[in-house]
Amino acid sequence: MGCLQSIACKPKSFRDGVAVLQALLRVPPVAANETWTVGWIQACNHMEFYNTYGSKGMSSWEIPDLRNRSIQAISDSDGVNYPWYGNTTETYTVVGPTRSDCKFTVSMNDNFKPSITWGVPVSDSNVPELTGVRRDQSFTTWLVAINGATAETVVLQTVRWRMRLNIRVDPEKPLGQRAVLLEPVDQEQPQILSENGSIPPNALVKPNANDAQMLMWRPLEGDPMVVIPPRY
């Protein structure tokens, strides 16, 4: 797409579980009756999310196809506006013909706000037994322009980023004093790749990561069991 030029794409920050990406773009005059949507598409490439409950076992949020490596990545769309991450600040649509340059910004925030039970998730007991939380997820995010009529897709920028977390929990302590962050103190910052690769097919279609994940209970003794099945 020769008429669209990326002026700036930068990972603004990644802290406190929030990744912020922003791009400023300029579209010179579009002579044709074309419609282009520009925005962010994100996929999850790797997911480990384990919650340990002492000698009882651990719960694990898992995406089977991703865990088994039968797919390279899975869509991280909001579950509504496929293939886009969202449809507010995340996208912008240019409708031709236009007579002058069009400048705009597209941005996205990825917020981590998981819920974890204090007690063993397959037990009716409310006794706190959580002793650890470990999370390691990797994502690829593409700045993309898509032609509304032809579906021509142009990748403008590619960003990779990772979120890691290792927390020790002492359930014997009072609330507000139980959790200690072990590592990392500072997250790796998102990186803009020098070359844009193709987008894996599963990053563009249903299901998204939230709908495909399931919660497993893996006891130290006995067989694993599904606690919450995938929604899709």
Q: Which amino acid is at 153?
A: T
Which of 3, 41, 4 has its CA nearest to residue 158? 41
Task: Enter the tokens of residue 184.
Answer: 């990392």
* The total number of structural domains that make up the chain: 1
Which of 201, 219, 218, 231 has its CA nearest to residue 74? 201
Task: Enter the tokens of residue 108.
Answer: 């996205």
Which pLDDT score, from 0 to 100, does residue 2 have?
Answer: 46
Which pLDDT score, from 0 to 100, does residue 138 have?
Answer: 96
Which pLDDT score, from 0 to 100, does residue 17 have?
Answer: 58
* β-bridge mates for residue 11, sequence order: 21
How many Å apart are CA 49 and CA 174, to the nearest integer?
25
How many Å apart are CA 20 and CA 189, to the nearest integer?
10
Which pLDDT score, from 0 to 100, does residue 80 have?
Answer: 94
Residue-range definition of the domain harbouring residue 96: 5-228
Which pLDDT score, from 0 to 100, does residue 7 have?
Answer: 46
Which pLDDT score, from 0 to 100, does residue 5 have?
Answer: 52
pTM of the model: 0.90
How many Å apart are CA 71 and CA 101, to the nearest integer?
40
Contact between residue 51 and residue 8 where contact means Cβ atoms under 8 Å apart: no
Which pLDDT score, from 0 to 100, does residue 61 have?
Answer: 96
How many Å apart are CA 160 and CA 21, to the nearest integer?
11
Contact between residue 83 and residue 204 where contact means Cβ atoms under 8 Å apart: yes
Cis peptide before 224 (omega within 30 of 0): no
Block residue for tokens 């020098």: 194
Q: pLDDT tens per residue, the chain (232 residues)? A: 444 554 455 555 555 556 789 999 988 888 788 999 999 999 999 999 999 999 999 999 999 999 999 999 999 999 999 999 999 999 999 998 998 888 999 999 988 778 899 999 998 888 999 999 999 999 999 999 999 989 999 999 999 999 999 999 999 999 999 999 998 888 888 899 999 988 999 999 999 999 999 999 999 999 999 999 999 8
Grouping H, G, I as helix, E, B as strand and the rest as coil, residue 65 is helix
222 contacts: CB under 8 Å, gap ≥ 6: none
